[in-house]
Structure 1
Amino acid sequence: MIFLQLVLQNFGPYQGRQEINLRPETNNETRPIILFGGMNGGGKTTLMDAIRLALYGQRAQCSTRGNLSYPDFLTQCVNRNTPPTEKARIELAFEIIEDGKPKILRIVRYWTPDPKDGKDVLGILENDEWKDEALTNTWDQYIENLLPLGISSLFLFDGEQVKELAEMETPPPVVVEAIQSLLGLELSERLSADLDILASRKRKELATTKELTTLEEIEQKLKQQNEELEAANQELGSLNNKLERADKKQREAQDKFLYEGGKIASDRNRLEKQQNYFIEQRENVREVMRELAAGALPLALISPILTQAQFQAEKESRQQQAKIAQDILRERDNKLLNYITNLSVNDTEFDKIKNFIALENQQLEQIAVDTQPWLLADKSEINQLNNILYAINTAQFRASEKQAELEKLEIEIEALERQINSAASPEAYQQLKDAVITTQNEAAKVKAAHETVNRRCEELKRAIAQIKKELESYADESLKSANNQHIINSIAKVKDTLKLFKEKLTLKKLNKLEMEVTECFRYLLHKSDLVHRVAIDTKTFALSIYDPQGQPVPKHRLSAGEKQLLAIAFLWGLARVSGRHLPVAIDTPLGRLDSSHRQNLVERYFPTASHQVILLSTDTEIGKVEVEQLRENSAIAREYLLKYDSVGRQTVVELGYFW
């Protein structure tokens, strides 16, 4: 993926329409860095938010959103000086390779200060042509295949995120989620949950009416305990950041609902009704075409022959008319010559007139005897032939219209079929919907005391473990069917195998990640003898550093700059392990680095972090020395300066940098 252009219109401090070329090339020479310079509060973070908002819409993790609802956030993003007749608008054009061919997509989002239906309007262009509505409706799923939201923080990050990561003993939740997504750990957890559902179904199939009632009561109790535990855990976690964490969990549930087809499934009935309507219209069109085929349309097969017959009939008619005219003109010519003789015209002029009349009569005589007539059609037959040809042409025209209409209906039916097929199953949809509702309700419980919730969690865990034992005992003693019993027994073994598989997979993937992070960290450090290996904990994903003698290096021995380089190396290693060729955007990239570490980052990281690196810097981060070094190394493709007017509180994008 390569970002090509970002367009901002009445967004944040950017008034009017401002277009920014992001192509990483200069004079057909590829250079990775797009450099933006701007003072604090000048609109650098707004540019990063614009990219996130264009890609993910209401799922975007924008810096200024906080606990705002999506409609309130969109309203907040509209420039304060926007005329009432204009809208806020974001466009992001990027190039991808699909089926071995380059393709340019342009995301367009626009909204008014008071967004209709509480959301923006989304449109997708492919190679400057509007795509069909199906891609727009499934955009959340499509972008997840290109740049999943879970790992986007590895490619679109800011200096504050690096500082937080550098100071924490364990990575924050957003990085942990990215690691789990890259390692594929969520697949085994999802399969384990599916196995529980399968076991529950098999128990119900095998139980008697009384046993079924007992099982349902136990399972209902288990479900209730699980829901209470989930709510308590979410409440316990939300105490650390109150409404922000609760709101985040709500957005995650909504993202899953959208990503896995929940939105489309909720519209299934409408889509199916619309599809049935188009199918009915298609049948009506086919009926009209059958009626045409029962009329004059088949005669179109011999239309050339009928046209020839028409031409021959008209030709013979003209011959007949010429013969009649010939006799009349001959009598008139004799009278004319006698009249001219009485006028005493001289012989030369009389001969000229006589020759002219003879020549004209000769041409008329040629028409009369051109060919021997053979069709011998009378006037009524010619009229009937004309009517038949007219009916054929009319039938052909209507058939062409109906054929085009039929093709259009087929396209509409096929598009609706794709949307219906991409919808989630009823069971998965219900689970997604329940998860959304549950997280929405849990947002109201953030004021519970930490110790009380923690004790409640422990009690629920013990109760759930006891209920699971009861279920296992009940299954062992009461269920008699050998086949289903075998399935139930096998599920426990499969879950144990899954647990072992997850552990080994984690070890294997983390080993590769450790190698990448170690290589990146050693590459960025100016003290190459400080670190021999970076280890990653398999449960908490915390980083540990070891020197060449194999002794651990306490994290407090690292300087603030070295900690920040370690955090950058961690994010860089994760991005490399992902295997995705994606742009990297960094806001306030140098933070608290000293001159030596800053030199290493400028020289070694920025030019090689990706094929496209967007840097948003103040004049104190990438200063005159650093920018001249990047220019000398031919690393910068384009330079922009975000010029902020503090009086009008507006920002204008200009070419060039501070120096």
Structure 2
Amino acid sequence: MRFKKLTIENYKSFQFPTEIHFPDGQNSKSIFLIGGMNGAGKTSIMEGINLCLYGGKVENLFRSINRKQLALGNAGVSFELEMEMDDASLLIVKRSWSAGVIDKPRAKDLIERLVVVRDGKRVSVQNKQIWQDFIRATIPPGITQFFFFDGEKIQEIAADDHSEVRLKSSLEAALGIEYINKLSSDLLYIKQEERKGFIEISDEDLEFKESELKLQKSKLSRLNKERDEIREDLESFKTQYEEAKKRFQANFNVEPETRDAIREIEKRRIQRTNRINQVESEIRNLCENYLPYSLLGSFFDGIKKQIDRERESAQSEAIKENAEKLARKIVRAVEEPEPIFNEPLSSEKMVVLEKRISALLSEGDSQNVSNKILNISDRDAVNIIQKIDYLENSDIFLLLPLLEEKRELQIEVNKMEATLQSGVKTDSEKEIFDELQSEMESCTTQIGRKTEQLRILEEDILTLDKKIKDIEIEIEKLYEKHNVSKVKADFINECDAIAGLLNQFIIRMRKNKVHLLQEKTFEMYKLLSTKSGLIKDITIDAKSFEIRISDRNGHEIKKSGLSAGEKEVFALSLLWGLAQTSEVKLPIIIDTPLSRLDSTHRDNIIRNYFPNAGEQVIILSTDTEIDNNYYRTLQSHLSGAASLEFNQQQELTTLKTGYFWEA
């Protein structure tokens, strides 16, 4: 099969109908080179081919309609692909979407139209699904990934250190095993339909199991649809995150990975700010409870001394007031209860002694006489002294450490705020900074959430699939108990035998094709790799699909140990090997395959891969990938070249004949 012409109209920057002719080359091989700067529309060409062949979602198509034409009310997009088939017939597939003449068209208004022309005769496509099945059978979408790919596809495969699952699914797509599995499923369906005519032991049991099986399959279909939707959402959030990441790098020249450090600084800033608020609260509480009293702290010693002096003065006053009673009591103490002197005092002497003592007590101690400034009772004096002692031992003395802590915390917060504001000079930049940070944070959260939802759904699907298989086994056992006729029994046995043969065929074919795949992959790898002399063999396990690279001494070389360039070369060799193993003859379309490779690997790919990639090779490249020197190297193999020119003001892509410097 060869592509002859592609027409794109009103898709992205291809505003007007743009025809891209793919001329034939010499010796039944052709390499057509299309140059274009980034954003000029190279990827749109590959997308246009896929959309023309297989269709697409109207939501995505509506978003890709040329904006200027959409603003003018032209809500339509079309693709036309002209192909020469292997039987030399000419097939033209034209697929278009249009909303008609309506105001403010929306995605759901787009109506798809398919036209198929074979050898100049328009084919009826009333049943669009029949022709869609024909196109899918002719160009299986499962294997186009080995023929239509870009640099990102190569990098994706190169970065996958555990590619066994990917390789198994890719190989089965290349071998058409999915059709054999479909045949096995059809055989099982036919076998089950035949069994329904058997004499049943219990109609109720069969009906119950059949209804249960139908219900579980309906659930499985719903879960599969939900899983596909979550996968789309997950990819959308990943794309949104990468776009936000690129905008962040462009605006602030800082890797977004510093968000973790920024988030940690912000966390510490919030903690310090909260501590400042707590310290301020403690200071306020201390001031409210103790500060009014503590301001009198310098008077506390004087107050205590004054209380003591007034107490002593009060005692002296009391003695003076009761001097006669005390004097009499003292004199009586000389004689009672027993006389102190041998000779007892006379009444007259006792009176004289009482007067002297009374006079002495009445004079008092002049040193203990104090002015009554406070003039408080003993009870109040005790309360005041207790209050002073409590204040002197209270937390008020923590006030200075708290003030010092607040000052240090404030300095630390100021430094953190300065760090957070580094690179953000204006309010608008701060707003963009916060917006991008928030957007990436939201995307990360959604990615985690969708990933978890997908994991749970996958588990549910596996559980439900096992349950369905168990029910099918139960139904089979019920049917086996039927008293069947020999004809139907033989037919069922034949179905089982064919299914068994198909399974054996798949196993043997997979084994043979795996061997062919490793030979083809190694064949191209030796041409492209700078280390091909160090590598003895590449083997692929037919059961586990594990890839093993061994050196000349038989030692294994881990794929993860290869350089980034070697990994991409290996991925390119694997894609070529899969294309060769599929034995399907399709054009090879490669979009920007050399962007991350060094000069040596580029030389090998230019000299060895492109001329041998396939009978028809279409290369979409920038001027830095295939430059003047590489162009001269390829020139003898080229069947033609063209370039895409993008007018940024008009948002319009036009096709010019000849490569960049020839256009």
Shorter chain as normaliser: what TM range?
0.5 to 0.7
Aligned residue in 2 for 1:32? 30
Of residues 61, 64, 81 in structure 2, which corresponds to 1:92? 81
Give me the whole-angstrom Cα distance separating, in 1, the residues matched to 2:494 and 2:44: 54
1:482 to partner: Cα distance: 4.9
Q: Give me the whole-angstrom Cα distance separating, in 2, the residues matched to 1:197 and 1:31.
A: 45
Match of 2:202 among 211, 227, 233: 211
Q: Retained in 1: the 8 A contact 2:98–2:110?
A: no
Confirm or deny: 8 A CA contact 2:2 2:83 kept in the other structure. yes
SS of corresponding position for 1:590: coil
User: What amino acid sits opposite 1:640 in the alignment?
Assistant: A
Which residue does the alignment assign to 1:15? 15
Q: Residues 79, 537 of structure 1: CA spacing in aligned structure 2 closer, same or farther, 3 A cutoff?
A: farther
Specify whether residues 196 and 51 from structure 1 end up closer, same or farther in structure 2 by C-alpha distance, changes over 3 A only: closer
1:201 to 2:193 alignment: yes
Deviation, 1:563, is: 0.9
In 1, Cα distance between equivalents of 2:89 and 2:469: 54
Q: How does 1:503-542 map to 2 (within 5 A)?
A: 503-538=507-542, 541-542=545-546
Shift of 1:107: 3.6
- TM-superposed deviation, 1:204: 2.7
Aligned residue in 2 for 1:560:
564
Query: Can you list the C-alpha shifts for 1:443-470, whole angstroms capped at 9, x where unaligned?
Result: xx97974564455456545544553454
- SS of corresponding position for 2:142: helix
- Quick check: 1:167–1:563 contact (8 Å CA) kept in 2? yes
Describe the superposition over 1:596-621 as per-residue Cα deviations: whole angstroms up to 9, x where unpaired: 11100001111221222111111221
Amino acid in the other structure paired with 1:92: L
Cα drift, residue 496 of structure 1? 4.4
Match status 1:607 vs 2:596: no
Equivalent residues of 2:551, 2:557 under 8 A apart: yes
C-alpha displacement at 1:492, in angstroms? 5.1
Q: Which residue of 2 aligns with 1:73?
A: 61
Q: Is residue 2:658 matched to residue 1:656?
A: yes
- 1:193 deviates by 1.9
Query: In 1, Cα distance between the equivalents of 2:488 and 2:127?
Result: 44
Residue in 2 aligned with 1:57?
55
1:657 alignment partner AA: Y
The CA distance in 2 between the partners of 1:451 and 1:578, in whole Å, is 32
- The SS at the match of 1:51 is helix
Paired position in structure 2 for 1:41: 39
Cα shift readout 1:28-56 (whole Å, capped 9, x = no counterpart): 78762221222211111112212222233
What CA deviation, in whole Å up to 9, does each residue of 1:408-464 have, x standing for no partner? xxxxxxxxxxxxxxxxxxxxxxxxxxxxxxxxxxxxx97974564455456545544
Q: Is the 8 A contact 2:49 2:81 kept in 1?
A: yes
Structure 1 residue 161 corresponds to structure 2 residue 159: no
Residue 587 (str. 1) matches residue 591 (str. 2)? yes
Instruction: Summarize the alignment of residues 337-416 of structure 1 with structure 2, pairs less than 5 Å apart.
Output: none
Q: Which amino acid aligns with 1:651?
A: T
Shift of 1:507: 0.9
Q: Contact between 1:207 and 1:478, CA under 8 Å: does it hold in 2?
A: yes
Which residue is equivalent to 2:321? none
Structure with bigger gyration radius: 2
Question: Greater CA deviation, 477-486 or 194-203?
Answer: 477-486
User: In structure 2, what residue type is equivalent to 1:23?
Assistant: P
Q: Deviations over 1:359-378 (max 9, x none)?
A: xxxxxxxxxxxxxxxxxxxx
1:103 and 2:101 matched: no
Which of residues 175, 194, 198 is equivalent to 1:183? 175
Report the 3-state secondary structure (helix = DSSP H, G, I; strand = E; otherwise coil) of the residue aligned with 1:16: coil
Q: Distance in 1 between matches of 2:75 and 2:231?
A: 41
Secondary structure of 2:586 counterpart: coil
Report the equivalent of 2:6.
6
Q: Distance in 1 between matches of 2:171 and 2:135?
A: 19
Please tell me whether the aligned partners of residues 30 and 637 of structure 2 are also in contact (alpha carbons under 8 angstroms): yes
Give TM-score scaled by structure 1 length.
Answer: 0.59
SS at match of 1:164: helix
- Deviation of 1:549 after TM superposition, in Å, equals 3.6
- Structure 1 218/558 Cα, relative in aligned 2: closer, same or farther at 3 Å? same
Deviations 1:502-559 (A, max 9, x none): 2222112222222211212122223222333323344564533233344322011211
CA distance 1:626–1:136, shift in 2 (3 Å): farther
User: Structure 1: which 5+ runs fail to align?
Assistant: 59-68, 246-444
Quote the Cα distance in structure 1 between the aligned partners of 2:476 and 2:55.
45
Structure 1: how far apart are the matches of 2:477 and 2:93?
Answer: 58
Deviation at 1:473, TM superposition (A): 4.2
Whole-Å separation in 1 of the counterparts to 2:95 and 2:496: 49
Q: Give the distance between the partners of 1:123 and 1:458, measured in 2 at CA.
A: 40
TM-superposed deviation, 1:220:
2.2
CA distance in 1: counterparts of 2:82 and 2:454, whole angstroms:
47
Q: Which residue of 2 aligns with 1:642?
A: 644
Tell whether the 8 Å contact from 2:231 to 2:454 is kept in structure 1 after alignment.
Answer: no
User: Does structure 1 conserve the Cα–Cα contact (< 8 Å) formed by 2:174 and 2:579?
Assistant: no
Identity %: 31
1:479·1:485 contact (CA, 8 Å) conserved in 2? Answer: no
Could you tell me whether the CA contact under 8 Å between 1:204 and 1:212 is conserved in 2?
A: no
> What is aligned with 1:386?
none
Counterpart residue identity of residue 14, structure 1? F
> Which residue in the other structure is 2:380 paired with?
none
The structural deviation recorded for 1:3 is 2.2
**CA-atom RMSD in angstroms:** 3.6
| Change beyond 3 A, Cα 1:29–1:193 | closer
Tell me, yes or no, if the aligned pair for 2:53 and 2:93 is still in contact at 8 Å: no
- For 2:82, what is the secondary structure of its paired residue? strand
DSSP-derived class of the 2:585 partner: coil
Matched residue count: 443
The answer to whether the 8 A contact 1:123-1:136 is kept is no
Letter aligned with residue 35 of structure 1: L
Question: Does the 8 Å CA contact 1:206/1:480 hold for their aligned counterparts?
Answer: yes
Alignment of 1:123 with 2:115, yes or no, is: yes
Q: Distance in 2 between matches of 1:213 and 1:110?
A: 50
Counterpart secondary structure, 2:654: strand
Q: Contact 1:123 / 1:130 at 8 angstroms: preserved in 2? A: no
Checking the alignment, whether the CA contact within 8 Å between 2:55 and 2:95 is kept in structure 1 is no
1:509 maps to a residue whose letter is K
Q: Secondary structure at the match of 1:15?
A: coil
What is the aligned partner in structure 2 of residue 415 from structure 1? none
Question: After the TM superposition, which segments of 4 or more aligned residues of structure 1 sit over 6 Å from their partners?
Answer: 28-31, 172-175, 445-448
1:588 touches 1:618 (CA, 8 Å); kept in 2?
yes
List per-residue Cα deviations over 1:319-357 (Å, max 9, x = no partner): xxxxxxxxxxxxxxxxxxxxxxxxxxxxxxxxxxxxxxx
Conservation of the 8 A alpha-carbon contact between 2:525 and 2:532 = no
Q: Gapped runs of 5+ residues in structure 2?
A: 237-448
CA positional deviation for 1:183: 1.9
